[in-house]
Amino acid sequence: MSEMKAHSIDISAMQRSQQTLRIENETPCLTVNNLELFYGEKQALNGIDMIIPEKKVTAFIGPSGCGKSTLLRCFNRMNDLVDTCRITGEINLHDTNIYAKGTEVAELRRRVGMVFQKPNPFPKSIYENVAYGLRIQGINKKRIIDETVEWALRSAALWDEVKDRLHESALGMSGGQQQRLVIARTVAVKPEVLLLDEPASALDPISTLKIEELIHELKEEFTIAIVTHNMQQAARVSDYTAFMYMGDLIEFGDTNTLFTNPSKQQTEDYITGRYG
C-alpha cells in the first residue's frame, strides 16, 4: 500500500507496516490515486493518494483553505460545476473510475450523496422533501414512497419528531431538524457514500450531538466522509482521520493513533493548537 507509506515516512518500518495493515484490512470504498486539482493556474490539491474504507467514518481536518472541502467535492464531482476547475489522477468508487469518460454524473451523485454546511430543505412538505429523489428516479407507487420516506426519516432519527406533521412545510422545522431532514432526503435514494461538509457547524450543541450520534448509526449502512473544523468532533465520530495542509495530505490513518501519537510533527503542531 505505497500510497499510505508515502504519508507515513517519519515512523519506523514496523509502525509503518502496522499502520498499512490496518488500512489494508478494511474494504476500500473510494480509492484516490495521484489526484491533483487546479482552479485556473492555482493548484489546490497536490498528488493525493488515499483509501476511504467501506462503512467507516473518515474525517478530514486542517486549517481553512487546506483543500479538505475541495477533496470531498471531488468524490461526487461537484467541482465539475466550477468552470476553471481541472483535475488529473483518478478516484475509483469500488472498481470504477468516476472521472472516466462517459461517467453518468447524475447517477454518481445518487451513489455518492452530499450534505452541506447549512441545511437546505426544499420549500415543500417534510414528506415531499424526502420523496423528491424517489420521484426524480421515476418511482411513483405510493406504498413504496411511503415506506421509503418512513425508513429514511427513521434512519435520520427524525421519524418520531415529525410523523404527525409530514405534510407541514419543512421550513418550519428547527435548524437541527432541517439538517437531519436533508440527511433523510439524501439516504432515501440509497447511496453508497455520504459526504458531510461541516454538517453541524451551523447548529447548537444539542443539535450537534444528535448529528454525531446519527453518524455513528449511519455508518452501519453507509460509507461516510466528513469535513470538520472541530478536532474534538473528528476524534468522537471518525474511525480514520486525514490531516491536510495547503493542498497536501500530510497524514492519514487510524483516528486514535493520529490524535494520540501522530507520525508527523506538522500534525502534532496542528492538533495541539500551535497553528491553524
Nearest to 218 by CA among 254, 249, 243, 186: 186
pLDDT of residue 233: 97
Task: List the Cα angle 177/181/187 in 5-degree steps.
Answer: 145
Per-residue pLDDT of 205-243, as tens digits, reads 999 999 999 999 999 999 999 999 999 999 999 999 999
Q: What is the C-alpha separation between 13 and 213, in angstroms, rounded?
A: 37
Q: Is the dihedral of CA 173, 78, 37, 42 positive or negative?
A: negative
- Residue 242 grid coordinates: 486525514
Buried b / exposed e along 16-41 (16+ C-beta atoms within 10 A): beebbeebeeeebbbbbeebebeeee
The dihedral formed by the CA atoms of 133, 186, 219 and 151, expressed in degrees to the nearest 10: -60
Q: What is the DSSP letter of 96?
A: E
CA distance 227 to 59: 6
* Of 216 and 5, more confident: 216
Q: Which domain holds residue 82?
A: 2-271
The pLDDT assigned to 53 comes to: 96
Q: Is the dihedral of CA 114, 197, 38, 247 positive or negative?
A: negative
**CATH number where 106 lies:** 3.40.50.300
71-88: string of b/e by CB count within 10 Å (b at 16+)? bbbbbbbbbeeeeebebe
Is 246 within a domain? yes
Work out how many domains the chain is built from and give that number: 1
Q: Residue 103, Cβ neighbours under 10 Å: how many?
A: 14
How confident is the model at residue 16, as a pLDDT? Answer: 39
Tell me what pLDDT residue 17 has. 40
Nearest to 214 by CA among 244, 192, 184: 184
Q: Give the pLDDT band (50/70/90) at residue 202.
A: confident
Average pLDDT over residues 95-123: 95
Give me the pLDDT at residue 23, please.
66
End-to-end distance of the chain based on CA atoms, in angstroms? 30
Instruction: Please tell me the total number of residues recorded for the chain in this structure.
Output: 276
- Region 80-98: mean pLDDT is 96
How confident is the model at residue 273, as a pLDDT?
87
Q: Is residue 49 part of a domain?
A: yes
**According to the model, what pLDDT value does residue 6 have?**
40
The model's pLDDT over 18-64, given as tens digits with 9 standing for 90+, comes to: 444 346 678 999 999 999 999 999 999 999 999 999 999 999 999 99
> Looking at residue 24, what is its pLDDT?
64
Per the domain annotation, does 136 fall within a domain? yes
9-13, 79-83, 105-109, 130-134 — which is least confidently predicted? 9-13
| Distance separating alpha carbons of residues 162 and 34, to the nearest angstrom | 45
Give 106's Cβ-side CA count (13 Å radius).
3
